[in-house]
Amino acid sequence: MKSLEHDAAMPAWAREIDLSLPLHPQILLSGNVRDLYPVATPTGDGVEIDLVDLAEMLWRVILARGYSAMLLLDPVTAKLDARAVDDDPPSWITPLLQATYETPAAISELLVRVVQNREAPVALVLPYTARLAPADGMLDPADRALLGRAEALGHQAVPTRGAGPRTAMAPYNTTVWVCERQEELHPAFAIGSRALRVVPVPRPTLDVRAAAAATLFTDASDDERAGRARAMAEVTHGMTVRDLVACGRLARDRGMPAERYADAARLLQVGITDDPWSADRLREKIGTAEAYLNERVVGQERAVRKAVDILIRSAVGLNGAHVSSSPSRPRGVLFLAGPTGVGKTELAKAIASLVLGAGAEPLRFDMSEFRADEAHQRLIGAPPGYVGYAAGGELTNAVRANPVCVLLFDEIDKAHPRIFDLFLQILEDGRLTDGRGATVYFTECFLVFTSNLGVSGQQGTSPGAPGTPPGGPPAVSYHTQPAQVERLLRDAFTTFFNQTLGRPELRNRFGDSYVVLDYIRPHVAPRIVAKALRSVADRVERVHDLRLEVSPEVETKLNDIVVERLADGGRGIGTVVETVVVNPLGRWIFEKAPLPGSVITLTSIVGIDDEWHVEVG
């Protein structure tokens, strides 16, 4: 018998199991328990890597400890599979292999038989422990009896006498419980029992993934094999070894070279066969994107130029290229700051139309609705046992249904501080785990955050008191110079994340994506007015088959009116056009009922103070 305590060829969690066998009669394995695990075996030519499942890994560990057999309950057949030394299990196990274990009572009797064995030690593995007594709902008497008996057996267990030399620590007849998440276990399960050792099984690290990937390229030279394995490991951040093997098979099936392994990872994660970011159609549209976005968002040339730079970076796959820690970051991120009505939301809508096609809208989340402490559950779903668990989360469900999308998080500073923990994970790793334990990938998403931090002198939500502004720098106004507007808003952005939230690491994740949109200035107002009037004319022609003409006098007067209200932004201009033009025009069409094909002319604007209205000729 040899201990695996110092065997570096075995994973750390396997060595922890080996350490626990003579100390604890029960072991709970949780986490990445459905994966494959690389094990290095010395050979005459070097080292050979084997990928083994959990059952094989457990058998190797307990075999080294001198166990005579391992029993594994198959949940499909409700029978036991046995592994034994020399394939010869002890005679008392033979009748156990012939029985079925479909009820809690049968499993209870099996536990008693195994734990009370006094021959060479045996391990019993229950691979779907959470299904024996689920966390949600009331336990029936049989399930409660099973958990109670299991806890009592753990306390009554004594080491066996039939294993190894007298000087070795004798192990117990070990019960190995297996589940993916501890929260899936019923509260009656004795997690805190002194007889139970909880051993987490982590997801594979970069080195583990590289070792596993090396098994996929056995036909290559050693140097080429190592390079390919490292490349595959780099683009499978957050994946299991099983996922990595699937990526390798997919890449090999499609004849993908090493530089395209990321495409195989994307196919497996997101489940789409076409990459819209590298499509010729999008590349052509991005070539003219600056003109298109400037037409949609008037007077914000600098912000548009920045957005186009990020779109280009997304299209060529270079977002996050300056770091190697996580290649699965979202395709693009924009943080748009500025006063209300200057085009932040419109820019997000324009980006969605550009990337996804005409008429496409961003998936919008108004973060002022997420002020409450438990609001994050709306985004990712409630945990097991809570109301709404089956429904899932609004954000995770939306991205799962639309893996290629533009996400708009409006007024992000209004959200509860706990929400920002989710954004930190999305921005860094490009993924979230929902309330049901499923992973949702944001790799193909373009994220847009909007905020008016600093405009009113407030710094946003204060931790522990959602919605209560603690105060900040002097408010900016329409009369503030553009350079000062940007400086004050950027200072407010920094203060909010560094001091109010205490999360400077999240501010750093936004990098250079922070863009300030300026107030609507007087030289921009006529272009917005003209755009609004064209929109009105198009609607009149489409709905009533009437041609609308606007006299120069009307445009000039309308420009004079809106210049006095520029502090309200583009929405203020829209309100003026609606009040002064659309309302009286609609009344005139309703009363006069002109014939289709007629020409309507807006001849003048009359009125005083705020009582302006257009005259129709």
Residue 167 domain-assigned (yes or no): yes
One DSSP character per residue, 53-118 reads -HHHHHHHHHHHTT-SEEEEEETTTTEEEEEEGGG---GGGHHHHHS---SHHHHHHHHHHHHT--
Percent of the chain at pLDDT above 90?
Answer: 28
Confidence (pLDDT) at 469: 44
Confidence (pLDDT) at 378: 87
Cα 298–chain centre separation = 33
From the list 331, 286, 317, 282, the residue with the least C-alpha distance to 444 is: 331
Contacts 24+ apart (CB under 8 A), 179-182: 179/28, 179/29, 179/30, 179/33, 179/128, 179/129, 179/130, 180/30, 180/31, 180/32, 180/33, 180/34, 180/130, 180/437, 181/30, 181/31, 181/130, 181/437, 182/28, 182/30
With contact defined as beta carbons under 8 Å apart, do 32 and 202 qualify? yes
What is the spatial distance between Cα 532 and Cα 536, in angstroms, rounded to a whole number? 6
What is the spatial distance between Cα 602 and Cα 549, in angstroms, rounded to a whole number? 6
- Out of 488, 516, 544, a domain closes at 516
The DSSP code for 285 is: H
- In whole angstroms, how far apart are CA 300 and each of 286, 364, 557? 17, 22, 24
* Together in a domain, 469 and 553: no
Q: How many CB atoms lie within 10 A of CB 285?
A: 17
Residue 146 domain-assigned (yes or no): yes
Percent of the chain at pLDDT above 70?
Answer: 87
* Together in a domain, 212 and 197: no
Lowest mean pLDDT, pick from 196-200, 374-378, 463-467, 522-526: 463-467
Predicted confidence (pLDDT) per residue in 170-222, tens digit: 788 999 999 998 878 888 888 888 999 999 999 898 889 888 988 888 777 77
- pLDDT band, residue 449 (cuts 50/70/90): very high
From the list 27, 8, 30, 7, the residue with the least C-alpha distance to 17 is: 27
CATH number of the domain that 339 lies in?
A: 3.40.50.300
Averaged pLDDT for residues 498-517: 87
SS (H, E, C) 183-239: HHECCCCCCCCCCEEEEEECCCCHHHHHHHHHHHCCCCCHHHHHHHHHHHHHCCCCC
Predicted confidence (pLDDT) per residue in 394-417, tens digit: 998 888 888 888 999 999 999 998
Output the six-digit token pair for 193. Answer: 């029992």
Residue 290 domain-assigned (yes or no): yes
* Together in a domain, 40 and 82: yes
Residue 1 domain-assigned (yes or no): no
CATH number of the domain that 19 lies in?
A: 3.40.50
* Together in a domain, 357 and 394: yes
Domain count, the chain: 4
- pLDDT band, residue 279 (cuts 50/70/90): low
* Together in a domain, 74 and 35: yes
| Residue 166 predicted with pLDDT over 50 | no
- Out of 216, 239, 268, a domain closes at 268
Higher pLDDT, 283 or 346: 346
CA-CA-CA-CA torsion sign (333, 336, 342, 345)? positive
Residue 7 domain-assigned (yes or no): no
What is the spatial distance between Cα 147 and Cα 139, in angstroms, rounded to a whole number? 10
Identify residue 305 by its one-letter amino acid code: R
Cα 156–chain centre separation = 45
Output the six-digit token pair for 89. Answer: 């299990």
CB-based contacts of 612, cutoff 8 Å, min separation 6:
557, 561, 579, 580, 605, 606
Residue 4 domain-assigned (yes or no): no
- In whole angstroms, how far apart are CA 617 and each of 429, 551, 554, 576, 602? 61, 10, 12, 20, 6
* Together in a domain, 147 and 184: yes
What is the spatial distance between Cα 60 and Cα 37, in angstroms, rounded to a whole number? 12
* Together in a domain, 378 and 392: yes
| Residue 230 predicted with pLDDT over 80 | yes
Q: Domain containing 460: what range?
A: 278-516
* Together in a domain, 337 and 418: yes
* Together in a domain, 252 and 184: no
| Residue 588 predicted with pLDDT over 80 | yes
What is the spatial distance between Cα 174 and Cα 154, in angstroms, rounded to a whole number? 9
* Together in a domain, 296 and 167: no
- Out of 516, 537, 565, a domain closes at 516
- In whole angstroms, how far apart are CA 95 and each of 90, 106, 117, 118? 10, 13, 14, 17
Confidence (pLDDT) at 8: 54
Tokens 């993934």 sit at which residue?
A: 209
* Together in a domain, 456 and 470: yes
What is the spatial distance between Cα 80 and Cα 99, in angstroms, rounded to a whole number? 8
**Global pTM value:** 0.64
Residue 143 domain-assigned (yes or no): yes
Residue 5 domain-assigned (yes or no): no
What is the spatial distance between Cα 241 and Cα 216, in angstroms, rounded to a whole number? 11
Confidence (pLDDT) at 126: 96
Confidence (pLDDT) at 105: 92
Averaged pLDDT for residues 482-504: 88
SS (H, E, C) 442-464: CCCEEEEEEECCCCCCCCCCECC
Predicted confidence (pLDDT) per residue in 317-327, tens digit: 665 544 444 55
From the list 193, 118, 124, the residue with the least C-alpha distance to 161 is: 118
- pLDDT band, residue 610 (cuts 50/70/90): low
- pLDDT band, residue 273 (cuts 50/70/90): very low
Confidence (pLDDT) at 102: 92
* Together in a domain, 578 and 459: no
